[in-house]
């Protein structure tokens, strides 16, 4: 697609429920990233993929968080047994592996985010 698409845009859930957040990257972008942004803070890295391979998951806060990208395109971030402290904006970004300038190889393009509220 033309941009990075995330769904749902807003999710309200009760503590203890599982949630799945979806990211559809820009067509042809090899790398996909997940970030979490708390209110008033900058985005914090969670994990990233090259194609379908999860390259780095060092930012996932605990084992309730997991992510997959089975076919190297769409990715799902899953949070099990949600807690109130999981409430945040979850942002996905994708990156192409070539090019220069503001759309070049080391530039991440972000989606609008999924705002999760855990009651």
Residue 102 corresponds to which tokens in the numbers above? Answer: 């503001």
Task: Tell me the DSSP string of 6-49.
Answer: EE-SEEEE-TT--EEEEEE--TT--EEEEEEE-TTS--EEEEEE
Number of residues that bind other proteins (CB under 8 A): 24
Site string for other proteins, 8-47 (x = CB under 8 A): -----------------------x-x-x----xxxxxx--
In which region does residue 62 sit, left (phi positive, over 0), alpha (psi from -120 to 50) or beta (all else)? beta
Q: Does 113 bind other proteins (CB under 8 A)?
A: yes
Q: Which of 22, 74, 87, 112 binds other proteins (CB under 8 A)?
A: 112
CB of 119 to other proteins, least distance (A): 23
Q: For the chain, how many helices (H) and strands (E)?
A: 0, 11
CB of 43 to other proteins, least distance (A): 5
Q: Which of residues 65-94 bind other proteins (CB under 8 A)?
A: 91, 93
Can you tell me whether residue 112 is helix, strand or coil? coil
Contact set with other proteins (CB under 8 A): 4, 31, 33, 35, 40-45, 48, 56, 91, 93, 95, 102, 106-113
């Amino acid at each position: 697609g033309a941009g990075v698409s995330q769904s749902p845009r807003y999710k309200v859930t009760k503590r203890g429920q599982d949630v799945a957040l979806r990211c559809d990257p820009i067509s042809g972008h090899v790398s996909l990233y997940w970030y979490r942004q708390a209110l008033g803070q900058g985005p914090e890295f969670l994990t990233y993929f090259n194609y379908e391979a999860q390259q780095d998951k060092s930012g996932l806060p605990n084992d309730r968080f997991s992510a997959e990208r089975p076919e190297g395109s769409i990715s799902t971030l899953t949070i099990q047994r949600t807690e109130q402290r999981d409430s945040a904006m979850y942002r996905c970004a994708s990156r192409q592996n070539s090019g220069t300038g503001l759309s070049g190889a080391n530039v991440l393009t972000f989606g609008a985010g999924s705002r999760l509220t855990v009651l």
